[in-house]
Amino acid sequence: MSQEIPPSEYIVGKTLLIDKPLTWTSFDAVNKIRWQLKQLLKQKLKVGHAGTLDPLATGLLIICTGKFTKRIDEFQGQEKEYTGTFVIGATTPSSDLEQAIDFHFPTEHITDELLYNTTKQFIGTIDQSPPLFSAINVDGKRAYLMARKGDETILPTRKVEIREFDIRDIRRIDKLIEVDFRVSCGKGTYIRSLARDFGKALDSGSYLSSLRRTRIGEFRIEDAMSIEDFVKLISLVQDEKL
């Protein structure tokens, strides 16, 4: 996207690549962009995102405007790539840092070789159950709302595809092991669930301490802009119209 693009093209349809900041929901990002475009165009505009990122995740968010919102399903179905860190030797109820550690597990038996070999169990089509703290509807209620009230309803498994699962670095800190990873996967894969299941496969526990989405199909994080840069760009276009 560049400032030479006529504002009317947002109505016809644009695909915006946004680097979602930490703690923002995907809906926060959509709302911010919708409001900025409303100020620019002086009219309401359809705006939606193609694939939710958790508030504690950062990275690539595809936001579609105008008629391009019809392509959201197409983008959601494309392969995604993530990088991040698992912490081996402990768990949290949410399988990430939203909740505090609830249990600790042994790690003395876990060698680097075991870590690398265990990744192979998750490559291909696997059965995966979503994390309890997810936005999935269960009898008309969001799973995370039920989980926060102590309801530990087991969510049904689904088939997901993990095409690549690479370990990039291993650090041992006290009795915990931090594992930096890269994962390429298909639609519907939960990386928090992968963290949980990876820990179980190691006869230990695990949670996700950081996550960044780096690619969706052919779209890459290197080509994305921050929310702040988008706001500045819209301001420049508004100044040119004055």
Residues tagged active-site? 54
The 3-state DSSP class for residue 135 equals: coil
DSSP code string of 142-203: EHHHHHHTT--PPPPPEEEEEEEEEEEEEEEETTEEEEEEEEEE-TT--HHHHHHHHHHHTT
Matching residue, tokens 């995966």 = 128
| DSSP designation for 4 | T
Backbone angles phi, psi at 182, to 5 degrees: -135, 130
Rounded Cα distance, 74 and 51, in Å: 11
The 3-state DSSP class for residue 2 equals: coil
* 83: enclosing H helix or E strand: strand 80-88
Tokens of 145: 């709302």
Per the DSSP assignment, residues forming a β-bridge with 141 are: 138
